[in-house]
Amino acid sequence: MKIGIINYSIGNVGSVLSAFQYYNYDVSLIQNADDVDQVDVIVLAGVGNFSTAIGKLKETKFWQKLNHLILVVKKPLIGICLGMQIFANLGYEDGINEGFGWIKGKTVKMKSSRVLIPHIGWNKVKFSDRNLSKNMIYQSFYYMHSYHFMPEDKRVIIATTKYGDLDIVAAVRKNNILGTQFHPEKSQGDGLRFLKNAIELLTT
C-alpha cells in the first residue's frame, strides 16, 4: 500500500511524512498532480489560510485531480487541520471562498468570550467510532487553529472536543474521506495510533 502526501506549499508536510514513516508505511511526498494516481491513500495536510490553500491547489493542478480521485475513483483520503477545513462548501477566511464541497458545511472563525482564539494546545477528544480510538492511552491531541469546520449533516461527525464554551468538530468521516481538526503528527503516541487506525479504517 502506497500513501501519498500532497505537497502544495502549505504548512510543514515533513512532520506528517515522519509520522507515517514510524509504522514503516510506503509513504512519499507528491509534488506533481499526475503522480497522485500511483498512490492508494492520499493525505491532505496544511496549516494556514483557507483561500491560500485553495489557490495553491488550483495553481499546482491538484484541485481537479483530487476531485476526480475522491468523487469518481473513490480513493481514500485523510485531511489534517486545514486539509479537513477545505472539505467544506464555503470558507469565511479572507472573504467567502469555495472549498471542495465533499462534505456540505462551512469553515468559520471561532468565537468565544471565555477562551482565547486561536485555539492552541492539547485537548481531550471524544470519539464516537471506537475503531479510531483503539489502543490509545490518553485520547488527548494537539490543536492550532482559529477557524473550524461546521458540517451540515451531524452524522459525519466522528469525534468532538470541548474547548471552554466551544464544541469543536475534531474529526469527520464520509465514505472514503476522513478529516481531523487536530494534528495527529504533533500529538505523540496517540497521534501515531490515530493515523494507523485511520489507515486501517479506510482501507479494510
Task: Considering the candidates 68, 81, 119, 145, report the single residue annotated as catalytic.
Answer: 81
Name the residue type at position 71.
Answer: L
Q: Which of 119, 145, 148, 183 is catalytic?
A: 183
DSSP-derived letter for residue 136 is -
Amino acid at site 105: G
Q: Are 30 and 7 in contact (CB under 8 A)?
A: yes
The predicted-structure confidence for 115-169, as pLDDT tens digits, reads as follows 999 999 999 999 999 999 999 999 999 999 999 999 999 999 999 999 999 999 9
pLDDT of res. 48 = 86
CATH topology of domain 2-203: Rossmann fold (3.40.50)
Q: What is the pLDDT along the chain (204 residues), one digit of tens a residue?
A: 999 999 998 887 999 999 999 999 999 999 999 999 999 999 999 888 999 999 999 999 999 999 999 999 999 999 999 999 999 999 999 999 999 999 999 999 999 999 999 999 999 999 999 999 999 999 999 999 999 999 999 999 999 999 999 999 999 999 999 999 999 999 999 999 999 999 999 999
Of the candidates 1, 9, 48, 47, the residue with the CA atom closest to the CA atom of residue 29: 9
* 143-157 pLDDT, tens digit each: 999 999 999 999 999
Q: Domain residues of the chain, as ranges?
A: 2-203
Q: Which of 68, 98, 185, 200 is catalytic?
A: 185
Q: Is 183 a catalytic residue?
A: yes
Cα dist from 131 to 20, 61, 162, 193, 195, whole Å: 18, 34, 21, 11, 11
- How far from 150 is each of 29, 103, 186, CA to CA, in Å? 29, 10, 23
CA 40 from centre of chain: 17
Alpha carbons 116 and 110: distance in angstroms, whole number: 10
